Amino acid sequence: MVAVLPVSAHLNYGPMRMLLYEVAPGLTVGSAILAGDLHGVYDLLHDTIVIDRTMTYTRKRCTLVHELVHHAYGDRGHQREHRCRIVTARLLIDEQEYASAETMYEGDPWLMADELNVTVQIVLDYREWLNERGR
């Protein structure tokens, strides 16, 4: 069972944030320059997501969905990270689109990520889920 987000994971970053103001008024989403290679963080206590402002829109979109999954499960920070990554990849990637991108680009995760408007890590996480599922 995949977590239900308050917004569609297929929206782009800007529209997703705008819609969150309407459908999830209790949740605060902000942006900042985060330390190290931290892309985003979810603070359960204050129901607040912070996204690194220096990233591309594709990476921001993937990060926001990742943090929304933590929010949906009530995780503390990056708790239960593996589940979060798999669920995030499943929300961001459509199975049919993945299959055609895989054929078109012969499984190259960088080209597939470009085609699917996600980061390479999301493609690898989705692939891991397919392998765990045993296709």
Give ∠ CA 8-14-20 in degrees, rounded to 5: 50
Question: Rounded distance, CA 120 to CA 125, Å?
Answer: 9
Q: How far is CA 81 from the centre of its chain?
A: 12
- Counting contacts by CB under 5 A, is residue 89 touching Zn ion? no
Minimum distance of Zn ion from residue 32's CB (angstroms): 17
Size of the site for Zn ion (CB under 5 A): 3
Question: Rounded distance, CA 104 to CA 49, Å?
Answer: 36
Stretch that binds Zn ion, among 7-15, 70-78, 104-112, 126-134 (CB under 5 A): 70-78
Minimum distance of Zn ion from residue 80's CB (angstroms): 8
Instruction: Report which residue's Cβ sits closest to Zn ion.
Output: 78
Q: Which residues bind Zn ion (CB under 5 A)?
A: 78, 81, 84
